[in-house]
Amino acid sequence: MAVSRADAAGASTRRLAFKEFAQYQAPTRVVSGQGLLDSAGFEFMKEGAKRPLLVTDQVIRGTGLVDRVGAGVQDGGLEVAGIFDEVPQDSSTVVVERCAEAATAAGADSFLAIGGGSVMDTTKVAATVFSHGGTVRDYEGAYTLPRADDGMGPPLPIAPLACIPTTAGTGSEVSIAAVIKDDAAKVKLELADLPLYPRLAILDPDATRTLPPAIAASTGMDAMTHAVECYVSNDSSPHEQATALHALRLIRDNLERAVHEPEDDDARGNMLVAASLAITINLGATHSMSHPCGGQFGVPHGVANAINLPHVVRFNAAGGGAIADGYRDVSEILGLDPAGPDDEVGDRLATHIEGLVGSLGLPTRLSLVGVPEDGIPGLVEGAMGDGCTLMNPRDPSEDDYADLFRAAL
Ligand SMILES: [Fe+2]
């Protein structure tokens, strides 16, 4: 049983329960530095790639970035098998399967994603379908990829996979997970297994130079949500909590600069690092609320998180004890007073986040981004069924979620 710092008069330390189970690994090789795009071939060669398919979207291709990476791939002695640039903003199972077919048709042996979360998640799952056959649905859920020894051994490898993120937010370039929309069922499928960790991530601020400020803001708030949710989640490991706190320091010092001064290479580079430190699958109710906002009303993921996070912070902090103490740590890093009653700590942090969201120029209400009041029952159902609900430190009921959505509307 943890002793709340608020209750422990004068004490600057607290007794933390030792978790019954925690797991941590970060197998992706991360290289970061300005200009590393030009060494994409040299770096990807070390992961066994010879003929990568480059996967991107048409907006990024239009900036010339893909041509630069392609030249970097060839400069390392690799061949570009082809370019698949048909990934939409919110990728779907149909696109993933088309991407896998394109790789087969082009004689590719590996995948290099150049893009944001949608491009990277598409590429990760396309590499899976390319390597093992079947459809996206076959791999839905956690630890569902084929394994040796009748499923009890290690997962079978997939084709070499590298990511160059062009947004600083999702952290997909170093994560175990991917989210893909099933258009027919209007749901987002969540996939997570060890081979989905890319073998290589290249963090180069040149790749985010043309990012529109609104996207820098929303994806940056996604990273901040990962860090805040991870730090108080039931399921996070102490190792992830450590990386979450440093991600928060980098976000505190760089997010607004990266949005308001897009020519600031240091700020954009530091935000790429922050996003890769913040990412985890151990999240909470903010993500449970934001997933159906995206699936049912097309609200961009980072925007939904930016709107929902403060309300979840208030709700969770009212649970008190270790949860509120987690928010005290977050508050300290963000320069806020961590003292006072639990609900006050939550309210102060939530108000700070709302101010940040406003200063970044993002919407602060779901009603401003296409969510109608009569959509709430469907959103509640989606949030209750979302896997992140189980990891939230306070157990939300249907009524709690309805209140949270109403507060965010
Ligand atoms: Fe997220």
Q: What is the pLDDT of residues 118-143, one digit of tens each?
A: 999 999 999 999 999 999 999 999 99
Q: Tell me the torsion sign for CA atoms 65, 160, 301, 357.
A: negative
pLDDT of residue 9 exceeding 90: no
The CATH number given to 213-408 is 1.20.1090.10
225 Cα to the center of ligand 1, angstroms:
7
Alpha-carbon span 52 to 79, nearest angstrom: 7
| pLDDT tens sequence across 360-376 | 999 999 999 999 999 99
Residues of the chain with CATH 3.40.50.1970: 29-208
170 Cα to the center of ligand 1, angstroms:
6
Residues of the chain with CATH 1.20.1090.10: 213-408
286 Cα to the center of ligand 1, angstroms:
9
Pairing of strands 52-55, 187-192: unpaired
CA dist list (Å): 246 to 227, 241, 325: 9, 9, 17
The CATH number given to 29-208 is 3.40.50.1970
51 Cα to the center of ligand 1, angstroms:
31
pLDDT of residue 4: 52
50 Cα to the center of ligand 1, angstroms:
32
- What's the gap between Cα 36 and its chain centre? 22
**What DSSP letter does each residue of 262-311 carry, written as one string?**
TT-HHHHHHHHHHHHHH--S---HHHHHHHHHHHHH---HHHHHHHHHHH
80 Cα to the center of ligand 1, angstroms:
31
Residue list, CB under 5 A from ion ligand 1: 222
359 residue type, one letter = S
Which of 121, 133, 217, 130 has its CA nearest to residue 169?
217
| pLDDT tens sequence across 278-302 | 999 899 999 999 999 998 999 999 9
* SS3 category, 200: strand
* SS3 category, 155: strand
pTM: 0.94
Burial class (CB in 10 A: 0-12, 13-18, 19+), 26: middle
234 Cα to the center of ligand 1, angstroms:
17
